[in-house]
Structure 1
């Protein structure tokens, strides 16, 4: 992730011009931004994430510039909003159903420090999960720590997906597993999201996924074989049938386990010790590497992180959106799910 110039669509330029410009990093994601299989609705909401160095200052400026974006929490002041953002849920503050420049926008604000923590440690797997998929970078970061965190987040996703997958799998299954890391434990997938959401994301963007992850897969050539990368294959349809293989010996699994972020490793240790600290993380990871159910154990621990953050962030969203917008937003989600 570098700080090279980005050519933006006119609508993104106009949208960003409506906000305070103190942004460290900004990207757009979701069905209105990236092609999806069932993306035929013209009124899909544009999802944005703003990473800011100073949340208090940014909200202060934004409340003066865009007071209508906020729920009644704005009356408690920008300091309260900033603390509410940073101390609850996944440490992100969303304003939703905002009409801007002829489109509907939902934007989340998160501090740079909390962004880096989630990307490196997967404390919430919230921002990190969104950046496992191709996104539209609207403002690249010039912060070297943030740049490194974005890359390490992708690397962690590769190690996690390989731990979950069997010895043989298709390239499509690999990208599906990557994308599903932050969805499989999300309680909203039970009711509120289409059951084939991940498939809708992955299939139309196979080339984008390949471009995003090829450097990491090449560096792991001792552990996994991706024939499509060697052949320079560039056709989406082929990724559905290209068979890849990986080393699933305990030492290979231990390598991947050792590369997992801090919070998944903590979750694995807690699960293995059944809540009591009897073995340290190093011993636990070695034991799990030799366990035939290693993949299921990893899935369970990742799901526990996602479940907790998705529930707390959704509850937080009721306050940040306000009751009326919360009902409207939920109705849009249900309509989309059933449509």
Structure 2
């Protein structure tokens, strides 16, 4: 799916309880170059550890790295595990962690592998699943159910993007739409993120996006025509007939489908109808792309607010303030460069 990590990332993982980590990846501007403002300091490296036993991971990590945790460490591993697994988006972050021997700063999230798989399939939160719509660097590569779920997540993102795109588009448009799925609605984009973040991500990583999505596009050759995978600005076209829109709608994850059905029941007909019939009717709506975008926006808005509130506790007030200041500084510098 994506390139394996170079040795530095493998080395970083040795600072943590590796025996519980079944899948891990690094992402963000500290891993992949992004356009826009260049900061003087090195960007923080973001990492996710999908573990098979969250409680024992935290028990061991509290022994190895107690300084990584906020005041919550004094409430014990059971409280930390409960906060991770019961609060959206089922991930526990420790941020602004200096690894002085390596000369880097990291932020790492811990998630139960089953919770991650559920989000990849259903888009319950579009949080970690949204990050995995974009290029990441595998450290501990996925196997089995995780590998299947990751591929399904990419396929779902492609179907969603095609619904929201017009008949004619470019690969660059497609990748922008995919990258925006998990940013559209994120309340942090209002004050704490560069407004050009999505384009900055895509512009520098078009070959990586192509590696992720072009093989999936080939399986849709009957409905999507891509004349040249090496030409991101060459015009492509898709069949936007209701029949094909319906096909894309049926491939969406459970949560977006439920949201679409609720929208139809509220705005069109309150009468209970079979879900399949509702989606068939919605496929004929010329505004289905915007309707889907609005539905996904609400999922992202909710999870971004909940995860940020959770971060006040997991990071602590001081680190939360530092982290927010870094984001705002980056946003201001980016606007100055516009």
TM above 0.5, yes or no, is yes
Equivalent of 1:283, from 277, 284, 288? 277
1:2-151 aligned within 5 A: 6=4, 8-9=6-7, 11-21=8-18, 22-38=20-36, 40-41=38-39, 42-100=41-99, 101-142=102-143, 144-151=144-151
Scaled by the length of structure 1, the TM-score of the pair is: 0.94
CA shift, 1:190, in A, is: 1.2
8 Å contact from structure 1 (residues 269, 280) kept in 2: no
- Classify the secondary structure of the residue corresponding to 1:220: coil
Could you report, residue by residue, the CA deviation over 1:57-105 in whole angstroms, capped at 9, with x for unpaired residues?
Answer: 1011100000000001111111111111011121100000100121111
CA shift, 1:181, in A, is: 0.4
Q: 1:254, 1:14 → 2: CA distance?
A: 47
**2:220 pairs with 1:223:** no
Could you report, residue by residue, the CA deviation over 1:136-168 in whole angstroms, capped at 9, with x for unpaired residues?
Answer: 1111023x1111000000000000000000000
Gaps of 5+ in 1: none
8 Å contact from structure 2 (residues 260, 292) kept in 1: yes
Gaps of 5+ in 2: 334-338
Could you report, residue by residue, the CA deviation over 1:94-145 in whole angstroms, capped at 9, with x for unpaired residues?
Answer: 0001001211111011000100000000000111100100111111023x11
The match for 1:331 is 325
Q: CA RMSD for the aligned pairs?
A: 1.5
Scaled by the length of structure 2, the TM-score of the pair is: 0.94
Aligned residue pair count: 327
User: Stretches of 4+ moved more than 6 A in 1?
Assistant: none
Alignment CA distance shift 1:37-1:62 (3 Å): same
8 Å contact from structure 2 (residues 37, 330) kept in 1: no
Q: 1:273, 1:335 → 2: CA distance?
A: 44
CA shift, 1:279, in A, is: 2.4
CA shift, 1:254, in A, is: 0.1
The match for 1:177 is 177
Could you report, residue by residue, the CA deviation over 1:168-221 in whole angstroms, capped at 9, with x for unpaired residues?
Answer: 011100000000000011111111101100000001111111111111100001
